[in-house]
């Protein structure tokens, strides 16, 4: 009886250890995707407006460890603090594919009937063809690259 109890306890400990490893791997995989990790969750509020960025997964943008609820907030922060533009990693989420992409490589549609967490926004895409399709389907105004987004363009988007 004691041997059986000992084996059950040993098996339970082994299973718990396995579960802990699976949970850690899931956390590591999530961080590799660029969304969040347990340690970064505490810093996930938008660095521009304070909204909880992770509640808007299609819109999450990042500048290194700083989260933003949308590309619009990222670009607003860059206007206020231009040094953010030189972050090692500026990322946005491709709207259709829901994957992290470099903001400098993205095609942004403005003026569409799709709004972000703070209203009209810059809708990011990995490739120009997807951006053109979205522009037509959602009544967008134009497609921009990050290099063309300045204070005037941000104001234009905010005033839509």
Q: Which pLDDT belongs to residue 38? A: 41
Domain ranges (residues) in the chain: 44-158
Q: What pLDDT is recorded for position 160? A: 81
- Three-state SS sequence of the chain: CHHHHHHHHHHHHHHHHHHHHHHHHHHHHHHHCCCCCCCCHHHCECCCCCCEHHHCCCCCEEECCEEECCHHHHHHHHHHCHHHHHCCCEEEECCCCCCEEEHHHCEEEECCCCCECCECCCEEECCHHHHHHHHHHCCCCEEEEHHHCCHHHHHHHHCC
Output the tens digit of pLDDT for each of the chain's 160 residues.
566 655 556 555 555 555 444 344 443 444 444 444 444 455 789 999 999 989 999 999 999 999 999 999 999 999 999 898 889 999 999 999 999 999 999 999 999 999 999 899 999 999 999 999 999 999 999 999 999 999 999 999 988 8
């Amino acid at each position: 009886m004691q041997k059986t109890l000992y084996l059950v306890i040993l098996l339970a400990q082994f299973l718990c250890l396995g579960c802990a490893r699976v949970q850690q791997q899931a956390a590591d995989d999530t961080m590799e995707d660029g969304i969040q990790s347990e340690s970064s969750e505490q810093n996930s509020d938008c660095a521009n407006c304070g909204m909880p960025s992770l509640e808007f997964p299609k819109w999450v943008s990042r500048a290194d460890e700083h989260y933003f609820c949308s590309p619009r907030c990222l670009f607003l922060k860059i206007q206020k603090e231009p040094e953010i533009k030189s972050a090692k990693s500026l990322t946005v989420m491709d709207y259709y594919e829901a994957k992290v992409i470099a903001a400098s490589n993205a095609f942004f549609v403005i003026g569409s009937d799709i709004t972000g967490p703070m209203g009209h926004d810059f809708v990011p895409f990995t490739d120009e063809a997807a951006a053109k399709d979205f522009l037509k389907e959602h009544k967008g105004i134009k497609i921009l690259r990050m290099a063309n987004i300045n204070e005037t363009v941000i104001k234009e988007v905010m005033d839509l």
